[in-house]
Each structure stands twice: as structure tokens, then as C-alpha cells.
Amino acid sequence: MAILVTGGAGYIGSHTCIQLLKENYEVVVLDNLSNSSPKALQRIEEITGKTVMFYQADLLDRQAVERVFEENNITGVLHFAGLKAVGESVEKPLYYYHNNITGTLILCETMRSCGVKTLVFSSSATVYGTPERVPISEEAPTGAANPYGRTKLMIEEILRDLHQADSDWRIALLRYFNPIGADESGRIGEDPTGLPNNLMPFITQVAVGKRDKLMVFGDDYDTPDGTGIRDYIHVTDLAEGHLKALEKIAAETGVKTYNLGTGFGYSVLDIVHAFLEATGVQVPYEITDRRPGDIASCYADPSLAEKELGWRAKKTIRDMCCDAWRWQQHNPNGYQ
Ligand code: NAD
Ligand code: UDP
């Protein structure tokens, strides 16, 4: 009995593989390595002392996906594989729709034909668009602002329709807020290619001397210090949320939607200060223009996940900064 982790070599998938192995699940990873390194898988094995069955394959390759199911006794799927860069999705919408949506369709069709109907899907807080109010509960209106976000919303709808047509499906839609940090070993972490889009990898790259300074995208938002507020969550807490979701859907059919966030918002400058306190490293920054499409404030109401999954994020912002820094310091060039 194994769990298939699509995108398991990636940032969140690799951390979730560690939690699965620690809980004695058998793990099969399917990843085309388009945004990840096989070294992540080697290190997962080093950290846990357990093995991962790895298929370097594309979800768009139906035969390869079928082979994974034929060769393993898969009982459930954690579906992380997807493209995730908002800016790139605006430039290459068809590439994003094809990869994320067609890939999910092929996965679900294969699951159905093999009688595997347990699926946890990586959705995102981006499905809430510009929230009317914070904290954001799962009932808040949705409306994504870019092709990446629309792939998440469309896949959520597809999975709801799938359950509507066949109530045997057991599906969890996990809407992540802002995952940061790394495994406490410092051996695996976030390894963006090129210029990081996200705040924490940018901060750690400045701290390690790879970049001169952080550009803070706007200080004129309607927030206490004028910079954008987000709900940063430690990737290990997020990974644990997946195991809880898997347990929940093993116990009951249906489609469940959960926010995975901490419920606390931190501004960009809060993070810069927290990083200094946690690591002793001062990150120079400059205030620049707002980034198009950014919202002022976004943080979760995570109470549904606490009530129904018995899950809540435990790690502090200090833990997130220390762990992100340990990974960056020990691996200044990521997995290269
Ligand atoms: P990531 O890029 O590190 O991992 C995704 C993995 O999927 C990569 O290893 C990539 O090689 C693989 N992949 C992509 N397309 C594939 C395909 N067609 N076939 C096989 N493998 C494929 O990203 P991540 O940060 O770990 O994100 C995981 C999931 O969580 C994604 O679906 C992402 O959209 C979602 N998510 C991420 C964040 C975030 O801030 N990191 C926030 C919300 C949601
Ligand atoms: N941000 C920033 N400089 C950067 C990257 C991000 O000021 O180089 C800000 C961004 O405007 C937002 C916050 O940091 O307010 C989090 O950005 P990120 O891209 O990590 O997450 P998202 O905006 O997608 O939630």
C-alpha cells in the first residue's frame, strides 16, 4: 500500500515525502524534474533512512502514469505537480492550462480506471483573489486574478464535479497560504531557478551574498507599516496538514476544502526584522513600486482545519527564518 506523490521532488512535495516516510507510509514519486532536482529525493532517503520509488515521468504522458499505477499498489495520491509562477502563467497561459489541467485530468482518469479514488490536491489562497475581508474563511468568494490561479480554481471545480458524478471519491482541496522555511536538517529546501519570485528565498539569497538587497514592493498599502501582509506557514507544518487530510478522507468520502495557514499576518518589514532577530543577519532593502497584481493583506482563518483535521500550524516565524537560513547557508546554490 503506497501513496503516490506527484511533484514529490519539488519544494512542498519533498517535505511531505519526509513526513509520510516518518509515518511509515510507502512513497512513490512521479516528477518530470522540470522545476526540481533528483538530489532532493536522495536527501529525503538520507534524512529518513527509507527508500522512495521514483519515476521521472510527465503527468502528460498517460502511458507513463498508467505504468506507475500498474507497478505499485497505490491507495491514495497527493497531487503537487504543477507549474506555479504567476508571471510566467500570464505570458504562457496555454502552457499553464495544459500542464496543470490536462495533467490533472490524465491523473484522475488513470486513478479512476485503477479504482483509486483518494486524492489530496495542492490548491492555493490565490483562489480568493482580492479578499473582501481577512482572515479568509473557506466560504469566502473565489476569483483568481491570473492564469495560474485560474488553473487552481478550475481544478477545484473539476474535482467537485468528479465527486458529484461518483460519490466514492474522497478528495481534499488544500488551500495553502505562504509556505516558507525548510526541513530542520537543512538538507532540503526551496530551490528557485533564477531570480526568486517569493519573499523568503529572496531574503536568504541577499543574506548569503548572492543578491545586493531586497526590493520591497510598495510601502503605501493600507497596512500598519504600509507593506504587504501575508500568512507565512512553515513547510513542515504544511506537510503535516497533508497527512491529516489523508487520514480524514480515508475515513469519509466527499470533497473537503481546507485553508492551511497559521491565521497570523506578517508584513514584509516584519519578516525582515524577524530574520534579523532569528539569524543575526541584517538584510538591506529598498522600497520600490508595488508589484502589479499584489494585494495588501491575506491571511487565513484556519479554524476549519483545526476542527475537522485536528491540525494547526505549530512552528513560529523564528523557526521559519532559522530553517530557511540553515538551508540557504549550507546550500548557497541550492541543489547544484
Ligand atoms: P515546485 O515547483 O517546487 O514543485 C512542483 C513539482 O512538480 C516540481 O518538482 C516539478 O518538476 C513537478 N511538475 C510540474 N509539472 C509536472 C508534470 N507535468 N509532470 C510531472 N511533474 C511535474 O512547487 P511547490 O512550491 O512545491 O508547489 C507544489 C504545489 O503547491 C504546486 O501545485 C503549487 O501550485 C502549489 N502551491 C504552492 C505554493 C507555494 O508558495 N510554493 C502556494 C500555493 C500552492
Ligand atoms: N515581496 C517583496 N519583495 C520581493 C518578493 C515579495 O516585497 O522580492 C512582497 C510581496 O509584495 C508580498 C510579500 O512580499 O507583499 C509576499 O510575496 P510572495 O511573492 O512571497 O507571496 P505572494 O505575494 O504570492 O503571496
In a domain, 91, yes or no: yes
Q: Quick one: which of 2, 115, 9, 104 has its CA closest to 59?
A: 104
pLDDT attached to residue 1: 85
**Ligand 2 probe mutation, 84, 217, 266, most atoms within 8 A of CB:** 217
**Ligand 2 geometric centre to CA of 207 (Å):** 17
Look at residue 275 and tell me whether its pLDDT is greater than 90: yes
How many Cα atoms sit within 13 Å of 259 on the Cβ side? 30
What integer best gives the mean pLDDT of the chain? 98
pLDDT attached to residue 117: 98
Q: What is the pLDDT of residues 119-152, one digit of tens each?
A: 999 999 999 999 999 999 999 999 999 999 999 9
In a domain, 98, yes or no: yes
**Ligand 2 probe mutation, 268, 298, 320, most atoms within 8 A of CB:** 268
**Ligand 1 geometric centre to CA of 83 (Å):** 6
**C-alpha grid cell, residue 248:** 480524514
In a domain, 107, yes or no: yes
Q: Please indicate whether residue 33, judged by its CB atom, sits closer than 6 Å to ligand 1.
A: yes
148 is catalytic: yes
Closest ligand, as measured to the CA of 179: 1
In a domain, 87, yes or no: yes
**Ligand 1 probe mutation, 6, 107, 122, 235, most atoms within 8 A of CB:** 122
**Ligand 1 geometric centre to CA of 253 (Å):** 26
Closest ligand, as measured to the CA of 202: 2
**Ligand 1 geometric centre to CA of 235 (Å):** 13
In this structure, what CATH number is given to the domain that contains residue 165?
A: 3.40.50.720
Q: Provide the number of structural domains found in the chain.
A: 1
Query: Containing domain of residue 116, as a range?
Result: 2-181+232-261
In a domain, 313, yes or no: no
Q: What is the pLDDT of residues 222-238, one digit of tens each?
A: 999 999 999 999 999 99
In a domain, 19, yes or no: yes
In a domain, 321, yes or no: no
Closest ligand, as measured to the CA of 290: 2
Which residues make Cβ contacts (< 8 Å) with residue 103, sequence separation at least 6?
6, 58, 59, 60, 81, 82
